[in-house]
Each structure stands twice: as C-alpha cells, then as structure tokens.
Amino acid sequence: MALTHNVWAFVFGIMGNIISFVVFLAPVPTFVRICKKKSTEGFQSLPYVSALFSAMLWIYYAMQKDGSGFLLITINAVGCVIETIYIVLFVTYANKKTRISTLKVLGLLNFLGFAAIVLACELLTEGSTREKVLGGICVGFSVSVFAAPLSIMRVVVRTRSVEFMPFSLSLFLTISAVTWLFYGLAIKDFYVALPNVLGAFLGAVQMILYIIFKYYKTPMAQKTDKSKAVSDHSIDIAKLTTVTPGPISDSAVHQPPVIHNVPETQIQVTEVKSQNITDPKDQINKDVENQSQV
C-alpha cells in the first residue's frame, strides 16, 4: 500500500482516527440522557444528520484516491455507524413533529442529495476531474460544518458564559483538525488540509474564549453579587436583633407603683374628686328619683 511508504502520513492518519473516534463519541452523554427521559427535549437532529452526510462524502472522495485515502475511509466508516445510531435513537424518542422533520432532512440531504452528487460525478466527470469536483464539494461542506461553532462563540461573547462550550470538546476538535491538517500535508492533498486549517483556527479561538470568560464576571454580575452579599448581611443582622420570647421570670413582672409619703390632704382631695365624678346615667336616674319624690 502506498501509504506505508509515507511514515508521517501513516502516523498522523492513525492519530487522526483515534482522536476523531473520541470526538464522534462526544454526544454519548446527550443520548444517555435522551434514553433515560425517553424524550429528545430541546435537542436538534441536524448536527448528527450533517455529520453523517459529511462522513459519506469523505468516504466517496477517499475511494477516488487509489489507496492513499484508506485511513480516511476507516474513520468515516466508523463515523457513519455511530451517527446512524444517534439518528435512530433520536427518531425513536422524538415527538411526532420532530420525527417527521428529521426524516425529511435525512431523506433530502443524505439520500437524495448524496445520490445526486454521486450520479453527477459518475456521469459528468472522470479521473482527476472527478477527484477535484468531489474535493471541492467536501471542502465546501466541511467549511460550513466548521463554521457552525461561530454561533456558540457568539453566545459566549454575548452572555460572558462558557456553559454551552465545553473546553474538552473544543480541545479535541482542535487537536483533530491539526492532526488531519498535517495528514493532508503529508499526503499532499489540498482538499484534506484546507478545511482543517479553518477548523484548527476556530478551535484555538474557542479555547481562548473559554480561558477569557471562564472566570470573567460582568459589572452587572459583580453588582448583583455585591447586593446579594449586603442583603445576606442585613438578614443576618435582623436575625441577631430579633427578640425571641423566653420564660417570664419573677423579676420581669412589673409590680404596681407603691405610694410613699403622700400627704393625707392630697388623699382626701383625691377621694372627694372621685366621689364627685359620677356617671351621667346615674346622675339622670337620681334626678328622676328626686322629682318623683317631690
């Protein structure tokens, strides 16, 4: 096999196969969650459908390479199997509307679209021309796939949060792109190397953004944290100053004030005043009684 004569191509090809296999397994936790909940929730099927289409294209392209594309065929064949399993699980647990839309995209892109490309290349091109046409199609589709993380990076910049951009996935995607870039250079294949230049660049940007925003807090978030701290402090003070009822001791019972050394004349005056203050109803009754006596 021609590839054995190029040691570096073989080494980078094996490394690319291993790393790409790890990348293909990245959605496994997502599908474990889908199987447990028996629902696709808010997940989309397009990434898996497009990944399957990309793998199919690269297999067809590698078949035109006369043996030098063997390592491209192996990893993309494995990718086709894995992505097919993902799609089957997705369709199984999706609701009716999502299932129908997924099957429509799958039929249009992976069956009709791929069949149209194969027929056009087989009928209209041959030899090196077919390889160039297929290479251009693969590069165009790979660039569009590599450009997909731009939306995630935009979310990271807008929200200042890396919640939706795991560092491990960005790292493996970058290493995979770099490995396949060197593989393409080793076998002198422009169509393999070119899209991975963009993939390596975007992967590096993702990791830089992750490092920048991992521990970054916006002024609004800092203000919120500060107000929360003040609020918590106020609550603590309120708790400290809250009087909790306890057992009443004898010393806490207030006794009526004791009158000491009050002159007798003052007591007499008080008694006279108290006698003179009568209820109006009692006074009226007494007047009536006096009139009746008269």
114 located within any domain: yes
More confident residue, 210 or 258: 210
Q: With a cut of 70, say whether residue 159 has pLDDT above it.
A: yes
Q: How far apart are CA 27 and CA 83, in angstroms?
A: 10
Can you give the residue range of the structural domain that contains 145? 7-215
b/e burial code for range 32-51 (CB count within 10 A of at least 16 → b): eebeeeeebeebebeebbbb
Question: What percentage of the chain exceeds 70 in pLDDT?
Answer: 70
187 located within any domain: yes
Mean pLDDT across 141-164:
79
Mean pLDDT across 211-239:
53
227 located within any domain: no
97 located within any domain: yes
Q: In whole angstroms, how far apart are CA 143 and each of 15, 78, 220, 294?
A: 22, 21, 37, 124
The predicted model scores a pTM of 0.69
Please give the biggest Cα pair distance in the chain: 148
Q: How far apart are CA 149 and CA 114, in angstroms?
A: 24
283 located within any domain: no
Number of domains the chain is built from: 1
266 located within any domain: no
25 located within any domain: yes
